Amino acid sequence: MLTFDDGPDPRYTPHILDTLAEYDVRAMFFVCGEMAVDNQDLLARMADEGHVVGNHTWSHPLLPRLSRSRIRSEMERTCDVIEDAYGERPAWFRAPYGAWNRAAFQLGAELGMDPLAWSVDTLDWTTPGTRRIVGAVEHGAAPGVVVLSHDAGGDRSQSVRALRDYLPYLIDSGYHITVPRRQYV
């Protein structure tokens, strides 16, 4: 599974969406409300193209440092923006920095969201170079892996170029790239 955090960003997200469309691949985008509110057209495009949009809070704070009410506000505001632009409330939540706490899990559940972490971190936010990002994905690839990348939060041109390199490799290697679907009983 390919996931992209911190967006959407009009400079990088469209290029990521274009590459995914070229290979007919779906991904997950964990969006920040403060980015999504000004780029609702990109959330609508994600919906139209079959991608899953998750909640990554409003302003990307370190959740363990916040009160329960502030965490709820960060999540709820983002849920509202996602619903307005994407057409449905998010079913998934990812804590900024992977910094989970009991309140984040509880509040996410109260808002109808399941948590999702990652198993391969590309460290693309450190701008390590396209080859390093590609290497992290290609060496970390395995059944059930969740890849963390970013489509905002700084210069993500390396992330865009890396996706163009590693996506055909993953497909040619026989990986089925998917997005989660909730199972309702």
CATH no. for residue 60? 3.20.20.370
User: Is 29 in contact with 51 (CB distance < 8 Å)?
Assistant: yes
Q: Is 114 a catalytic residue?
A: no
**Residue 181: inside a domain:** no
Residue 43, helix vs strand vs coil: helix
What domain count does the chain have?
Answer: 1
Residue 95, helix vs strand vs coil: coil
Q: Is the peptide bond before 96 cis (omega within 30 degrees of 0)?
A: no
pLDDT tens-digit series, residues 1-40: 999 999 999 999 999 999 999 999 999 999 999 999 999 9
**Residue 135: inside a domain:** yes
Q: Name the catalytic one among 15, 51, 60, 150.
A: 150
Q: Name the catalytic one among 5, 9, 124, 151.
A: 5
Examine the pLDDT at 134 and tell me if it is beyond 80: yes
**Residue 183: inside a domain:** no
Examine the pLDDT at 185 and tell me if it is beyond 80: no
For the segment 100-116, the average pLDDT, to the nearest whole number, is 97
Q: Is 139 a catalytic residue?
A: no
Q: At 184, is the pLDDT very low, low, confident or very high (cuts 50, 70, 90)?
A: very low
**Residue 177: inside a domain:** no
Residues 160 and 155: their CA atoms lie apart, in Å, by 10
Residue 136, domain extent: 2-172
**Residue 179: inside a domain:** no
- pTM value is 0.96
Position 181 scores a pLDDT of: 74
Total Cβ atoms within 10 A of residue 86: 23
**Residue 180: inside a domain:** no
**Residue 47: inside a domain:** yes
**Residue 182: inside a domain:** no
